[in-house]
Amino acid sequence: MKRFAAAMALLLAACSGGEEPAADNGQNMLPPLDLESAALARGMIRDPQNTEIAGLYARDTDRLCIVRDGVGYKVGAFVDYGDGITCSGSGTVSRVGEVMHLELGGKGDCGFDAQYDGERIRFPGQVPEGCEALCSGRASFAGFEPSLLSESEVEAASVRDPKGRLLCATSD
């Protein structure tokens, strides 16, 4: 996000007409906006505070699905390193602002917070030991960073892990 902000600052600076600003007489002056606020206002980037989280996220062949389930959300995730070295789990997800709390596996042993920026979900670099039960070999959910692929809940609900299990099947 910092690189994007720096690039936008250079782009906006290049677009200025070089004219002197009008004298501030205290009338019709808007407060200055920071670069990210300006980009949000113009629709150049998604606002993570007001973005629906349901959809299909991916990184290479790895997937994460989120679908509405009653008043909450169901989540499913799998990472596949090949040769049977995988992690796969389903559970629930809740969100407050840019922080998503995931509970995978249903036993409460694999709960952690991830960051959400409106386009990408960033799992932490370390996940609880309880997440190991959802993985084989040396696989881990740590550092998983899928990007939004589709906002379609139908697509998200059809995600299967390498063993063919539906990860975001809802109780509906």
pLDDT band at 123 (very low <50, low <70, confident <90, very high): very high
* Each residue's pLDDT tens digit, 54-70: 999 999 999 999 999 98
pTM exceeds 0.85, yes or no: no
Is the confidence at residue 73, as pLDDT, over 80? Answer: yes
Among 46, 1, 69, 78, CA closest to 148: 46
d(CA 1, CA 146): 16
